[in-house]
Structure 1
Amino acid sequence: MQAKLEQRFFLLMLVLVSLAFGWLLEPFWGCIFWACAITVIFYPVQRLLLRWMGGRPNLAALLTLLICMLVVVLPVLAISAAFIQEGALFYDKIQRGEVSPSAFVETIRQAFPAITELLNKLGIETNDLRERVSGAAVEASRLLAKEALSIGQNTFGFVLDLCLMLYLAFFLLREGHHLVELMVKALPLGDQRERLLFAKFAEVTRATVKGNLVVAVVQGALGGFIFWLLDLPAPVLWGVVMAFLSLLPAVGAALVWLPVSLYLYGTGEWLIASILVAYGALVIGLADNILRPLLVGRDTKLPDYLVLFSTLGGLSLMGINGFVLGPMVAALFLAFWQIFMEEFNA
């Protein structure tokens, strides 16, 4: 009796201490998450370098981290800086009246009365829609301008988070295998199940981050290129917006190029509008339809509809981190049920 009481009390204290430690790390969850994601994605590179260097883990981890910075971190920082800068300029144009979102919506409404009738039948008032679009555009551009100022004022905090992420990624790359073995030994789920779940976690993280980022970069680059080629304003801004929106499967970049095409039709720019529609549907859309199933759905072994709903749910609940965490939760859900059916329902 005494032994059982001591064991239960120890387990209770173990849970409480673990929760307290998790709460202590709460300010750094973003850094920890992306350090783990970087480790999972670049771990094959780390193993390859480790074999080439004859077993020098420190140097292999450092070179892997440098490759990560050159391939991912620095390009993302450069694109984000250009995006914020153009967003701030866009906000200034709205403030000066050079750009009018309400006039944009009004042009589309007058040029395509069928769309207005359809929206009215669906119970959507176009006047309210115009005000909402105008308010959303102003608010988004104001947010970008504020974010640019905030980053400038909090440069130290941003650099600190980035350094912490890279610092942790270095140790995870160097000692990741030992940490996984330690967790397999500690968790009471059964070694075979734990290895299956860890493999699924790595598989989904690698496929989701790699796949979604590749699709986002390709669609954003294609969208920004056609905006630049057609001499449309702020190609970098809209290219990055299309890249972010491409995280939403099925719709994505069309939320930008389709309304712009309708506006160009409404203003009489038929040739430019037709080129943009054809390019958006055949090139940008085709990139999504080909690359996403190959890079995300195939590697995660998740159906396309499950990838869509888990991504949307993750983004709505967890922000930008949700585009990885959402499919990961869905994959672990399927893995747990697969284990249950195989072992308990044989």
Structure 2
Amino acid sequence: MLKNSYKMLFLLTLFLGTLISISSSSWFSVWMGLEINLLSFIPLTMKSNNLFSSEASLKYFLTQALASSILLFSIILFFIISFKNSNNTNFLINIIFTMSLMMKMGMAPFHFWFPIVMEGLNWINNLLLMTWQKIAPMILLSYCLNFYFFLFGIIMSVIFGSIGGLNQTSLRKLMAYSSINHLGWMTASILNNQNIWKIYFLFYCFLSFTVIFIFLNFKLFNMNQIFSLMNFKNLIKTIIFIPLLSLGGLPPFLGFFPKWLVIDYLTSMNYIILLLIMVNFTLITLFFYLRLSYSAFLLNHNEMNFNLNYNYYKPKNLLIFSLISFFSIFGLLFINMMFLIN
């Protein structure tokens, strides 16, 4: 992607737009940074020889343009009637503002565009959409905390992110619904403690990168392509699927650590019912990843091989997979040791 100079330019402006939004002191500058970010991401997703990417880019643009117009409308409305100091009106504007940001990052119940756009993009653009594109809306969302509406968004994200992926065979849609579920956890962590959100987001970015790196390296897009891994040894298949289980939050892997922090924090705040809902529905998302691993470990089929011309046994790739899996397994142990030392 970085071989073309125009893509490097748009990638730089993409990062610049996010930085402008999160460091601005006025709402107009925030809106301007979000627009720069949007207009920089569209050229990165479009490919002239791929109609699916063009369709996904158009859907993403229309959805983000609608969310930006709602955001600008709420900002203008807030400044017009701010002198009245009406609590009911400010509450309504806060709800509209929060809805626009939730639509921008694909949080339920405004997630209708997210799996469709993910399906039409390649893995690199999906990684940007799942990680970097959520930074600015999440930070701006922490500026206008509305507890009850946040609670509604958390529950909806956890439920839709879990149930929506049950009947999916596309790995990109599966990752989209998993991202929606993780958005519910990140929003729960941002309620009163942004440090937990920062830790959760960093771990989520690392685990998403490792999983997408595996899918990209093995050219996997659908669940039936997992059968192409049948000829591998069990050690290599273990190295491949450990990051998947870690992203699902299965203990004792690394992905359980940020969820552990959120669970501990919600327990200390007596949000027991919310925590039960989140944990129970997150077990469904863990089933997605267990289903992928099940087809590779417990089924034997040697005829289907989608990538005959690709060399999986390159020393470079095996080294990267080994390091990722080692950190996914023992990273939680190292973190616990650091906490015990401190």
Please report the TM-score for the alignment, with normalisation by the length of structure 1. 0.28
State which structure, 1 or 2, has the greater radius of gyration over its C-alpha atoms.
1
Please report the TM-score for the alignment, with normalisation by the length of structure 2. 0.28
Greater helix content: 1
Which protein has greater RCO, CA pairs closer than 8 Å, 6+ apart?
Answer: 1
